[in-house]
Amino acid sequence: MQVLEDWEAQQEHEPSFDVEANKIGEGYFVRVTFPTGETETLYGYATKADAIRWIRCEAVVWLWKRGEALKKVAAS
C-alpha cells in the first residue's frame, strides 16, 4: 500500500502532459499542466506520434531548461 501512496504523492508534484489536435489548421500541440495549475502550450507537432515522442524523449530536458530559466529570472 505504501508504494501506491508514494506514487500518488509523486504525481501531485509532477506536471502532466496532454496531446490535443489543433482546432484551426492541422497538427497537434502539447499542453503541460503544472501542479500549481499553471499551463503552458507547445505548438508545432505534425502528428500525434510526434507530440508523444517529444513527451517521451524531450520533455525532461525542456522541464530542466525551463526551471533554470525561471531561477535566473527569480535571481534578477
| Rounded distance between C-alpha atoms, residue 66 and residue 17, angstroms | 15
> pLDDT at position 13, please?
77
| Whole-Å CA distances, 23 to 20, 28, 43, 57 | 9, 9, 12, 25
Rg (CA), the chain: 15
Tell me: the pLDDT tens digits for 10-68? 556 799 999 999 999 999 999 999 999 999 999 999 999 999 999 999 999 999 999 99
| Rounded distance between C-alpha atoms, residue 18 and residue 21, angstroms | 10
The pLDDT of residue 4 is above 80: no
> pLDDT at position 66, please?
93
In sequence order, what are the residues at sequence separation of 6 or more whose Cβ sits closer than 8 angstroms to the Cβ of residue 14? Answer: 35
> The pTM is what?
0.79
